[in-house]
Amino acid sequence: MDNDTLWLIVGFLGQGLFSARFLVQWLASERQKRSVIPTMFWYFSIFGGVTLLVYSIHKQDPVFILGQGMGLLIYFRNLYFVLRHPRAGDDSGQA
């Protein structure tokens, strides 16, 4: 496998992880019959965002780097809030 193919796989992996967060959110909301954002949404956001940031740095795309970098700050901060202040009886993180 050549270097370009490897980086293409990294990019698609990152996009897949990032996109999976919407599937996780949708399934959790359907299960609870209300709109929820499960904890796994933030994990997928972080893992996908980090992977896409690495890919965008490799591609030297400043727009993509800025977008993913700023998004990661928000995802980490939201995960911090979820883990620091869990809601009693809220099982929205169970997706």
Question: Following DSSP, what letter does each residue of 31-80 receive, concatenated?
Answer: HHTS----HHHHHHHHHHHHHHHHHHHHHT-HHHHHHHHHHHHHHHHHHH
What single DSSP character describes residue 89?
T
**In-domain check, residue 92:** no
**In-domain check, residue 93:** no
Q: How many structural domains comprise the chain?
A: 1
Q: What is the pLDDT of residue 1?
A: 87
What percent of the chain is modeled with pLDDT above 90? 88
**In-domain check, residue 54:** yes
Cβ atoms of 13 and 44 closer than 8 Å? no
**In-domain check, residue 62:** yes
Range of the domain at 32: 3-84
- Residue 87 pLDDT exceeds 50: yes
**In-domain check, residue 57:** yes
Closest CA to 39 of 88, 73, 86: 86
User: What confidence tens digit (pLDDT) does each residue in 24-33 have?
Assistant: 999 999 999 9
Q: What is the pLDDT of residue 89?
A: 54
| pTM confidence score | 0.86
pLDDT band for position 95 (cuts 50, 70, 90): very low
More confident residue, 45 or 94: 45
**In-domain check, residue 89:** no
- Residue 93 pLDDT exceeds 70: no
pLDDT band for position 47 (cuts 50, 70, 90): very high
**In-domain check, residue 71:** yes
**In-domain check, residue 94:** no
Q: Count of residues for the chain?
A: 95
Cβ atoms of 91 and 31 closer than 8 Å? no
